[in-house]
Amino acid sequence: MSEVWPITAVAPPLAGRATASQRWSHLAFLHWRVDPGLVAPLLPDGLRPDVFDGSSWVGLIPFVLDRATVFGSPPVPYFGSFVEVNVRLYAVDSRGRRGVVFVSLEASRLAAVLAARALFSIPYMWSRTRLEVAAGEYRYSSARHFAASAHTDIVVRPTGRPVVNDMLADFLTARWALFTRVRGRTIHLRNHHEPWALFGAEVLTLDDTLLATAGFPGLAGTRAPDSVLYSPGVTTWFGTRG
């Protein structure tokens, strides 16, 4: 088994030309410690849980996705702009490469949901998603079509305190690839963006069933997140496997 690649706050360059880009804005990173044994059964074949301080971590992350481009196209109107809420895990493969594994992703654009599922088997779900901003507070909400019991309502207030040189924050956010299972193979898809501008934040309201639906009951309703961060955002480029 290869040595695990180090976590770096600066993304390594993509191999070759970027194939797509997106702007990610107003991100809230809510994370809970969990036992690695709870994570392992949810990972694609060939992966093991990535751990920090003896724990694996599950993230609930809402944000705005827009200005999506494909192969150098202009930003895609409407279908390339929506609020997303994802539940994600962290994994390592046999080559020591780190990456994100998405358990679910809520999005309001059906065409984007169908395309992501068809091309990369990424588990997007068609949902009603919204972001409301008022008095320095960010309210993210989502309700899944045809499964209204899968929903979330999150209110976060950034504190304005910068988070720098924080090993846990880097572990949770400095992720330069995702793993997904396509046609019977686990693949590693790269991304690249500038280092995160991260700030502390507090959760004012959390009414969520997405974590329980994903396989983690007893987190949102009984435990406060172990880490809460906010970022105004980055522009992200995607490359080929590597």
Let me know if residue 80 belongs to a domain.
yes
Neighbours of 124 (CB within 10 A): 22
Let me know if residue 8 belongs to a domain.
no
Let me know if residue 149 belongs to a domain.
no
Sorting pLDDT into bands at 50, 70 and 90, what band is 7? very high
Burial class of 52 by CB neighbour count within 10 A (0 to 12, 13 to 18, 19+) = middle
CA–CA separation, 118 vs 110, rounded Å? 12
Let me know if residue 7 belongs to a domain.
no
Q: What is the mean pLDDT of residues 99-119?
A: 94
Sorting pLDDT into bands at 50, 70 and 90, what band is 238? very high
- Say whether pLDDT at 68 is over 90: no
By DSSP bridging, strand 47-49 and strand 124-134 are: unpaired
CATH number assigned to the domain comprising residue 210 = 2.40.400.10
Total domain count for the chain? 1
The mean predicted confidence, pLDDT, of the chain is 94
- Say whether pLDDT at 8 is over 70: yes
Let me know if residue 143 belongs to a domain.
no
By DSSP bridging, strand 137-144 and strand 124-134 are: antiparallel
Q: What is the pLDDT of residues 187-197, one digit of tens each?
A: 999 999 999 99
pTM: 0.96
CA–CA separation, 123 vs 59, rounded Å? 15
Neighbours of 79 (CB within 10 A): 13
CA–CA separation, 48 vs 150, rounded Å? 27
Residue range(s) defining the domain that contains residue 183: 20-134+154-241
CA–CA separation, 229 vs 242, rounded Å? 28
- Say whether pLDDT at 75 is over 80: no
CA–CA separation, 179 vs 44, rounded Å? 8
Q: What is the mean pLDDT of residues 195-212?
A: 98
Let me know if residue 120 belongs to a domain.
yes
Q: Where are the alpha helices (DSSP H) in 5-86?
A: 36-39
C-alpha closest to that of 109 among 87, 89, 126: 126
CA–CA separation, 21 vs 232, rounded Å? 17
C-alpha closest to that of 35 among 216, 222, 220, 223: 216
Residue whose entry in the numeric block shows the structure tokens 């992966």: 47
Let me know if residue 146 belongs to a domain.
no
Let me know if residue 185 belongs to a domain.
yes
